[in-house]
Amino acid sequence: MRSTPYLALSASALLGCVEDLNLPKPRIHDNPVLLWVSETPDFPTCPGGRLDYWDGWTDVHTDPQYQNECGTCTCGPAACALPDRMLVHEAPLCAGEEGIKIDLTSAADPPGHCVELSSPIPGDAFAAVTLKPPTMASKCDASEQHAPPPLSGTYARACPWIGKYTGKFDGSVCIAPDDDGSCPLGFSARFEFQEKIRDARTCTPCECGAPVGGSCVADVLLFSGASCSHMLHPGNGIGTREQLCYETLEDFPLTGVRVVFAQDEPGTCSPTTPVSLVDGTIESGETRTFCCSSADLMEVIDANDDN
């Protein structure tokens, strides 16, 4: 959006009498610039790919209704997890703490698929198994981390003047004001911007309370045949606070395991902080004044210079 006003004289009228006009030109010692102004921070690329530009803004603010808030805090579920291991005991009644550990971490991806043992456990070494319970996550994660509310204002980019106006850059030619602060004839469009340092605002994190409710119940299915055939024990209904011991009554090897959910109802959490708040400020630098000419007038200057 162009906010610099055009002069009333049209380019065609000026071209007819350009030699009779005392057309102003940027004073070289003022480091003239091409000034882009917009209500959106979509800064353009400077002509010639110049990187020594200056960015500024003015009247930067947020909607008063939301200036101190980033958003409402919500919490995700406390997920259920299938048992990640079991122990195979050679002695009955799961006696002693020692046993052959069977890793079941892969049983959850996807749930219910056959976990075949790389080395089947023979029947004479398989008297009982300790079935570990499923678990529920001890906490809930905040479902969203918010960003600060968007800014509104007027934005500017001052690019080095490359000696002539370029129509590909939607801006005006500007110089510094006179010593008394006034703008000279032909550069009477006056703008003031503060240097744009950075938006240093962040949002306070959302936090969640302890999980409540939910139900995690697993079935651990044991098999003695290839590809999880010939079920030995269904292991049904193992809750989160249970650790079951199952004794084998037949002399069969253990060759595979399936683990599935009988109930998968995650717990829920309430946010301990209902709202994420804005923390930090917008950082601005010194104010800079620009005295600007219309693009139409500078096009006439360039055309005259070419002749």
What digits encode the pLDDT tens for the residues 32-54? Answer: 899 999 999 999 999 888 899 99
- At 133-153, the pLDDT tens digits run 999 999 999 988 899 999 999
Cα dihedral sign for 118, 119, 123, 126? Answer: negative
251 touches 90 (CB < 8 A): no
Which is more confident, 13 or 140? 140
pLDDT value at position 99?
Answer: 85
225 touches 288 (CB < 8 A): no
Residue 14 main-chain phi, psi, to 5 deg? -70, -35
Q: Reply yes or no on whether the pLDDT at 233 is more than 80.
A: no
Average pLDDT over residues 228-250: 83
The CA-atom distances, in angstroms, between 249 and each of 75, 238, 241, 307 are: 47, 20, 26, 107
pLDDT-based confidence at residue 162 (cuts at 50, 70, 90): confident
Q: In percent, how much of the chain has pLDDT > 70?
A: 83
Q: Reply yes or no on whether the pLDDT at 124 is more than 70.
A: yes
Measured in whole angstroms, how far is the alpha carbon of residue 258 from the centre of its chain? 38
The answer to whether the peptide bond before residue 110 is cis (omega within 30 degrees of 0) is yes
Q: Whole-structure pTM over 0.75, yes or no?
A: no
Q: Reply yes or no on whether the pLDDT at 224 is more than 50.
A: yes
- Rounded CA separation 134/8 (Å): 79
Instruction: Please report where in the chains the tokens 């009498």 appear, as a residue.
Output: 17
Among residues 46, 45, 132, 112, the alpha carbon closest in space to that of 261 is found at 112
Among residues 55, 53, 61, 287, the alpha carbon closest in space to that of 191 is found at 287
Which is more confident, 295 or 256? 256
Token representation of residue 276: 């994420």
Q: Reply yes or no on whether the pLDDT at 212 is more than 90.
A: yes
Task: Count CB neighbours of 81 within 10 A.
Answer: 16
Average pLDDT over residues 262-267: 95
pLDDT-based confidence at residue 97 (cuts at 50, 70, 90): low
- Rounded CA separation 216/212 (Å): 12
Average pLDDT over residues 102-123: 87
133 touches 104 (CB < 8 A): no
pLDDT value at position 286?
Answer: 94
Bridge partner residues of 268 (DSSP) = 212
Average pLDDT over residues 263-282: 94
pLDDT-based confidence at residue 213 (cuts at 50, 70, 90): very high
pLDDT value at position 24?
Answer: 52
pLDDT-based confidence at residue 296 (cuts at 50, 70, 90): low
6 touches 13 (CB < 8 A): no
Radius of gyration of the chain (CA): 37
Q: Reply yes or no on whether the pLDDT at 215 is more than 90.
A: yes
pLDDT value at position 198?
Answer: 93
pLDDT value at position 131?
Answer: 87
Instruction: Please report where in the chains the tokens 């697993």 appear, as a residue.
Output: 218
